[in-house]
């Protein structure tokens, strides 16, 4: 099998496209960044959960990405990410994907073999005591007990990641895909010291990861802003970057290894901190922002008025009626206040502007409604069920939707994170 030695670029954006209609509009945002002198590589990510809810196949995401790249004559790399896969779900992603986010969150805390723990502790005397990381004032102090506890907590998960990695290698060949390990969908954030220990274990396991997605402290709810202490996030984020640089040197992990931020979309208030940190450490970052595009489709439909607005209202009414079922799979990552959800009968009377103002993530707008936004964020199953009826309207209103998708991705995500330009509102250029 050929060994392509695929490498992920310093800056990359993971962008989700639930219905595979907006790849070109998303790529247009990367083209715009390139026009402004910054290379940002697109990674189209779609999780098994999304495919299962929509009833789509991973190959469709690949086709949409390839078509967009061809249409815009994109010359830089691009990738298709099998997002949050496990040993049980990886199979149908093997052929169409060249980026694999190996999710081991469910195995964190499962007991590791006592002999594995002993071996790991013996193999890593350099992790004991005080570790000085380049570029930060703080030192890490890791006691023998800390090391043993971290091994106990994470070794089983890392071994599982190794199994998944080797299964992908067996099918595709080494170097023909970008491996990421994710542990963000768990209940507790990993400390920077734990990240260092995890990276040592990943190196021992022989996984040449290029991105790692830890869970950061604070809440990363779907489609709405960060809830937490931004200063503390910045401190942890910087320490994580420093820990990665140390792990690259010490454990021989790939030199381009970087953090992957599974943002759950729209963590605007931490974007300046991310930008400041990557600049300070001359580091890369992968930003995953998956669901925001589907909401731009709804905004575009509402903005179009007529049948588009009517369908957007119908989708809200259906999502409202099935809110418990829709929210179930996402219960740990949403905070919806039921009292703030408008009755569908009220929404039925809304103008385009009332609908888009409530939904569009503009926190300076007094009628912006984060509960409505989160419900619609997880409500894409409603549109999936409509099938052709939904797609026909997407296609009929392509230009207004594409404009919203591109502007949202560029102005509100790419510009603040990668270019350091403060987020601008929709429609401003
Ligand atoms: Zn994630």
- Determine the pLDDT at residue 3: 53
- For 85-128, the pLDDT digits (tens) are 999 999 999 999 999 999 999 999 999 999 999 999 999 999 99
* pLDDT over threshold 90, residue 228: yes
Distance 283 CA to ligand 1 centre (A): 21
Separation of alpha carbons 143 and 148, rounded Å: 9
Q: What is the pTM of this model?
A: 0.94
Distance 211 CA to ligand 1 centre (A): 12
Distance 345 CA to ligand 1 centre (A): 35
Residue 261 near residue 285, CB atoms below 8 Å: yes
Distance 218 CA to ligand 1 centre (A): 14
Rg (CA), the chain: 22
Distance 179 CA to ligand 1 centre (A): 14
* pLDDT over threshold 60, residue 62: yes
Distance 182 CA to ligand 1 centre (A): 7
- For 167-197, the pLDDT digits (tens) are 999 999 999 999 999 998 888 899 999 999 9
* pLDDT over threshold 50, residue 139: yes
| Residues whose CB falls within 8 Å of the CB of residue 310, separated by 6 or more in sequence, listed in order | none
Q: Look-up: residue for tokens 């010359």?
A: 75
- 258 exposure class (CB count in 10 Å sphere: 0-12, 13-18, 19+): buried
- Determine the pLDDT at residue 427: 42
Distance 101 CA to ligand 1 centre (A): 9
Distance 183 CA to ligand 1 centre (A): 7
- Determine the pLDDT at residue 328: 87
Distance 84 CA to ligand 1 centre (A): 7
Separation of alpha carbons 1 and 77, rounded Å: 20
In our burial notation (b when 16+ CB lie closer than 10 A, e otherwise), range 408-429 reads bbbbbbbbbbbbeeebeebeee
CA separation (Å) from 397 to 54, 359, 372?
21, 18, 23
Distance 302 CA to ligand 1 centre (A): 29
Distance 33 CA to ligand 1 centre (A): 25
Distance 129 CA to ligand 1 centre (A): 32
Instruction: Count CB atoms within 10 A of the CB of residue 252.
Output: 10
| Residues whose CB falls within 8 Å of the CB of residue 96, separated by 6 or more in sequence, listed in order | 58, 59, 61, 62, 80
* pLDDT over threshold 80, residue 4: no
Distance 220 CA to ligand 1 centre (A): 10
Report the chain's mean pLDDT, rounded to a whole number. 94
- Determine the pLDDT at residue 424: 64
Distance 392 CA to ligand 1 centre (A): 31
∠ CA 182-184-188, nearest 5°, is 135
Q: Look-up: residue for tokens 């967009």?
A: 68
* pLDDT over threshold 60, residue 246: yes
């Amino acid at each position: 099998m050929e060994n392509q030695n695929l490498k992920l670029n310093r800056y990359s954006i993971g962008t989700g496209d639930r219905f595979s209609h907006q790849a070109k509009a998303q790529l247009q945002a990367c083209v715009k960044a390139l026009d402004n002198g910054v290379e940002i590589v697109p990674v189209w990510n779609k999780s098994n959960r999304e495919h299962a809810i929509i009833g789509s196949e991973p190959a469709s995401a690949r086709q949409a990405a390839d078509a967009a790249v061809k249409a815009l004559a994109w010359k830089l790399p691009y990738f298709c990410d099998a997002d949050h896969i496990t040993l049980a779900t990886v199979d149908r992603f093997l052929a169409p994907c060249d980026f694999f986010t190996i999710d081991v969150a469910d195995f964190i805390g499962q007991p590791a073999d006592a002999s594995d723990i002993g071996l790991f502790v013996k193999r890593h005397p350099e992790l004991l005591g005080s570790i000085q990381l380049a570029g930060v004032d703080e030192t890490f102090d890791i006691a023998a007990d800390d090391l043993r506890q971290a091994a106990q907590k994470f070794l089983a998960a890392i071994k599982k990641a190794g199994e998944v990695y080797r299964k992908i290698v067996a099918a595709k060949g080494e170097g023909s895909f970008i491996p990421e390990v994710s542990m963000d969908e768990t209940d507790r954030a990993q400390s920077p010291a734990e990240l260092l220990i995890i990276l040592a274990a990943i190196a021992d396991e022989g996984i040449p990861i290029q991105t790692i997605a830890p869970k950061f402290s604070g809440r990363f709810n779907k489609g709405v802003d960060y809830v937490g202490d931004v200063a503390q996030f910045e401190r942890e984020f910087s320490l994580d970057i420093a820990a990665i640089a140390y792990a690259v040197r010490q454990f021989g992990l790939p030199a381009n290894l970087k953090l992957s931020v599974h943002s759950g979309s729209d963590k605007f208030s931490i974007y300046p901190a991310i930008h400041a940190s990557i600049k300070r450490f001359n580091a890369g970052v992968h930003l995953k922002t998956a669901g925001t595009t589907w909401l731009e489709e709804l905004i575009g439909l509402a903005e179009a008025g007529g049948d588009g607005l009517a369908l957007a209202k119908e989708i809200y009414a259906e999502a409202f009626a099935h809110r418990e079922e829709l929210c179930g799979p996402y219960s740990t990552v949403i905070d919806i206040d039921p009292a703030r959800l408008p009755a569908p009968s009220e929404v039925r009377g809304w103008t385009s502007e009332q609908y888009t103002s409530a939904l569009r993530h503009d926190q300076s707008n007094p009628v912006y409604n984060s509960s409505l936004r989160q419900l619609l964020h997880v409500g894409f199953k409603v549109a999936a069920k409509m099938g052709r009826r939904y797609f026909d309207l997407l296609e009929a209103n392509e230009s207004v939707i594409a404009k919203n998708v591109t502007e949202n991705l560029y102005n509100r995500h790419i510009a603040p994170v990668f270019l350091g330009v403060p987020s601008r509102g929709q429609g401003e250029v």
